[in-house]
Amino acid sequence: MKILKSLCASLLLLSSGFTVAQTAKPEARHTPSEILDRAITNVESEFVPAAEAMTEDKYSFAPTTGEFKGVRTFAQQVKHVAAVNYILAAAILEEKPPVELGGENGPDSITSKADIMKFLKDSFAYLHKAMNSLTDKNLTDNVKSPFGEGMSTRLGWATIAIAHPFDHYGQMVEYLRMNGIIPPASRK
């Protein structure tokens, strides 16, 4: 009798689980555009606060001791990421960047922290525009490489646009710490 009660209780539990599973609303399907745009938001939410954290008087900082000869300054790191953001977004959109870049290092005319931050934030806005243009149909279309000869897919360039800022973020964190500044992401 004990076994029969246990068996009935188990069957009741299982059947109620099936009922819940059958009546539960299916999760919303996210579009490639939404997924990639969210990834840009994630990198932006780490990178921009790190760029803001460095004081303006230290924007020209580059390490000089050890194996750091010839590395970019903090400002150059930020400008480079912003310029490449524009380059990759323009490739995805198959258009000319909306600002004059002066190459992968950004315009020489942008030198103050305020101007560099505007350039950076605007580059992420342009990347969001590019990510929001992606669809199931155009995601794997080949587009011309912005770095010379060759082709890649929009998805390929979008993936680089997500990864590239994180490469430089790691360097910026080191620069911040070398100047006694705790990176915002480490303050939480």
pLDDT of residue 7 exceeding 60: no
Tell how many helices (H) and how many strands (E) occur in the chain.
5, 2
Q: Tell whether domain 31-186 is in CATH 1.20.120.450.
A: yes
Residues 4-25 have a mean pLDDT of: 46
pLDDT digits (tens, 9 = 90+) for 104-162: 999 999 999 999 999 999 999 999 999 999 999 999 999 999 998 889 999 999 999 99
pTM of the model: 0.83
pLDDT digits (tens, 9 = 90+) for 20-47: 445 566 677 889 999 999 999 999 999 9
Non-local CB neighbours of 47 within 8 Å, separated by 6+ positions: 81, 120, 165, 166, 168, 169, 172
Side-chain-side CA neighbours of residue 42 (13 Å): 11
Residues 179-187 have a mean pLDDT of: 93
Residue 145 near residue 38, CB atoms below 8 Å: no
Rounded to the nearest integer, the mean pLDDT of the chain is 88
DSSP 3-state of 149: coil
